[in-house]
Structure 1
Amino acid sequence: MKLIVKENREKELTVTVEYPEQNNQVLRIINKMKSEGKFLIGNESGRSYKVLIPEIYYIESIDKRTFVYTKDAVFRTDKRLYQLEKELKEYSFVKVSRNCLLNAGELTHLEALTNSRLEANLTNGEKIIISRTYIPEIKKVVFRGDLI
């Protein structure tokens, strides 16, 4: 990757990302730029924390509770999954099942499973099952980059 930095006092800050083909590295860079300073409030052990959006691997709803998974921690949030889906769509998050949103920038590869399902392998080694209903959405993101 080549980085070019130029000072131009007459223009506002502009970031241009040029790439030969879209891949997860490109998605992560764009996601980080778009979400710079953006965060969710997550709770862990009775304390509230700012969870930066680029640090989120996936979000899961279990028993009417919503959990945010990062590299090192799991946080509980008061927001519902449908609210987070709307808020995070522009940051490369995609719904992969009724109860899970996935950060497409953290996806390393997909594997086919039985019953027309897919398994998403993430950069942290975790594996998420993609329901067949949501396969077209994840394919759009992976193969065409529609969330950028």
Structure 2
Amino acid sequence: MKAEIKIENCPEPYAIIHTPEVNEQVQRVLSYMRQDTHTLIGQKDDRQYVLSIHEILFAQVKEEKTYVYTMDQMYRVKHRLYEIKQMVGHDFVQISKSSIVRIDACESVEIDFGGALVLHIKNGLKTYVSRHYLKNFKKQIGL
């Protein structure tokens, strides 16, 4: 099977398969492509990067702009937080009105002064879990 990639200005990656018949090889490719493998376009330093949702550890809205964090970078994305939450599904949990985190990216939690819960993420970030989302967060991570 031949393959070709064209870099274009489009909202998300898509594929077109030209084939005289749908055989086993085409079925395997279609099956793989239909899996829940979403990507996001992240912007950093006037460049755009294709990010797999599996790379994303944390997503946050600051000053009406949405940012996603990977293990070592932060990217601005055009999606709204609820759209990202729909893409990533049950792998993420909401921790505040403006933040979601990948459950397996949570490194540790600690109780801060005043009873607030501080969440340490594997990439070195730390953030707070809002009281409103605390019960669901604890349930999701097994506390």
In the alignment, which residue of structure 2 is the partner of 1:27? none
Residues 6-61 of structure 1: CA distance to partner in whole angstroms, max 9, x if unpaired? Answer: xxxxxxx9xxxxxxxxxxxxxxxxxxxx86x4321111122211112222121110
Residues 1-148 of structure 1: matches in 2 within 5 Å?
A: 37-90=37-90, 92-143=91-142
User: 1:115 and 1:98, CA in 2 relative to 1: closer, same or farther beyond 3 A?
Assistant: farther
**Any gaps of 5 or more consecutive residues in structure 2?**
1-27, 29-34
Q: What is the Cα deviation at residue 134 of structure 1?
A: 0.7
| 3-state SS, counterpart of residue 54 of structure 1 | coil
Q: Given residue 54 of structure 2, which amino acid in structure 1 is its aligned partner?
A: P
Paired residues of 1:117 and 1:135 also in contact (CA < 8 A) = no
Q: Given residue 82 of structure 1, which amino acid in structure 2 is its aligned partner?
A: Y
* TM-score normalised over the length of structure 2: 0.69
Q: Given residue 60 of structure 2, which amino acid in structure 1 is its aligned partner?
A: E
| 3-state SS, counterpart of residue 87 of structure 2 | helix
Q: Given residue 45 of structure 2, which amino acid in structure 1 is its aligned partner?
A: S
Take 1:136 and 1:78, find their aligned partners in 2: how far apart are those partners? 30
Aligned Cα root-mean-square deviation (Å):
2.0
Choose 135-144 or 57-66, whichever is displaced more. Answer: 135-144
| 3-state SS, counterpart of residue 54 of structure 2 | helix
Paired residues of 2:57 and 2:69 also in contact (CA < 8 A) = yes
| 3-state SS, counterpart of residue 66 of structure 2 | strand
Paired residues of 2:106 and 2:121 also in contact (CA < 8 A) = yes
Q: Given residue 99 of structure 1, which amino acid in structure 2 is its aligned partner?
A: S
Identical positions, percent: 27
Q: Given residue 143 of structure 1, which amino acid in structure 2 is its aligned partner?
A: G
Q: What is the Cα deviation at residue 114 of structure 1?
A: 3.4
Aligned residues: 110
Query: Rg bigger for which structure?
Result: 2
Take 2:124 and 2:44, find their aligned partners in 1: how far apart are those partners? 22
Take 2:59 and 2:86, find their aligned partners in 1: how far apart are those partners? 13
